[in-house]
Structure 1
Amino acid sequence: MSLLIKSQAAGQTVVQLPPGALQYVGFSAYRLKAGETLPVAAGDQELCLVLLSGRVSIGGEAPEQGAFNWPDIGDRLSVFDDKSPFAAYLPPGSQASVQALSDVQIAVCAAPGSATAGLGPRLISPQSMKRSVRGKGANTRYVCDILPDTEPAHSLLVVEVRTPSGHSSSYPPHKHDTDDLPHQSFLEETYYHQINPAQGFVFQRVYTDDRSLDQSMAVENSDLVVVPKGYHPVSVPYGYESYYLNVMAGPKRVWQFHNDPQHSWLMDL
Structure 2
Amino acid sequence: MPNLKVKPSGTHGRVTHVTPESAGWTYVGFDLHRLKPGESVSGETGDREVCLVWVTGKGKASAGTKDFGTLGGRMSPFEGAPHALYIPMESTWSVTAETDLELAVCSAPGGGTYQAKEISPGTHPQVTRGKGTNVRYVNNIMPEDDSSAHSLLVVEVITPGGHTSSYPPHKHDQDDLPNESFLEETYYHRLNPPQGFGFQRVYTDDRSLDEAMAIEDGDVTLVPKGYHPCAATHGYDLYYLNVMAGPKRIWKFHNAPEHEWLLKA
TM-score range, shorter chain: over 0.9
Separation in 1, partners of 2:168, 2:181? 18
Separation in 1, partners of 2:63, 2:166? 36
> Equivalent residue for 1:172?
168
Separation in 2, partners of 1:19, 1:11? 23
Separation in 2, partners of 1:171, 1:217? 16
Q: Is the 8 A contact 2:63 2:87 kept in 1?
A: no
Partner of 1:128, secondary structure, is coil
Partner of 1:265, secondary structure, is helix
> Equivalent residue for 1:142?
137
> Equivalent residue for 1:5?
6
> Equivalent residue for 2:15?
14
> Equivalent residue for 1:38?
41
Q: Is the 8 A contact 2:162 2:234 kept in 1?
A: yes
Question: What are the ranges of 5 or more consecutive residues in structure 1 without an aligned counterpart?
Answer: 62-66
1:231 aligns with 2:255: no
> Equivalent residue for 1:64?
none
Q: CA deviation at 1:40?
A: 1.8
1:99 aligns with 2:96: yes
Q: Is the 8 A contact 2:189 2:241 kept in 1?
A: yes
Partner of 2:32, secondary structure, is strand
Which letter does structure 1 place at the counterpart of 2:10? A
Q: CA deviation at 1:19?
A: 4.5
Moved over 2 A (4+): 8-11
Structure 2 counterparts to residues 50-199 of structure 1, below 5 A: 50-61=53-64, 67-81=65-79, 83-114=80-111, 117-151=112-146, 152-199=148-195
Separation in 1, partners of 2:19, 2:7? 12
Give the alignment's TM-score, normalised by structure 1.
Answer: 0.95
Q: CA deviation at 1:130?
A: 2.7
> Equivalent residue for 2:255?
259
Q: Is the 8 A contact 1:201 1:236 kept in 2?
A: yes
Question: What are the ranges of 5 or more consecutive residues in structure 2 without an aligned counterpart?
Answer: none
Which letter does structure 1 place at the counterpart of 2:86? Y
Separation in 2, partners of 1:166, 1:28? 29
1:220 aligns with 2:216: yes
Q: CA deviation at 1:8?
A: 2.3
Q: CA deviation at 1:18?
A: 4.1
Q: CA deviation at 1:80?
A: 0.6
The match for 1:48 among 37, 48, 51 is: 51
Separation in 2, partners of 1:87, 1:170? 23
Alpha-carbon RMSD across the aligned residues, in angstroms, is 0.9
Q: CA deviation at 1:146?
A: 0.1
Separation in 2, partners of 1:110, 1:73? 19
Separation in 2, partners of 1:60, 1:235? 37
Q: Is the 8 A contact 1:202 1:220 kept in 2?
A: yes
Give the alignment's TM-score, normalised by structure 2.
Answer: 0.96
Separation in 1, partners of 2:127, 2:118? 21
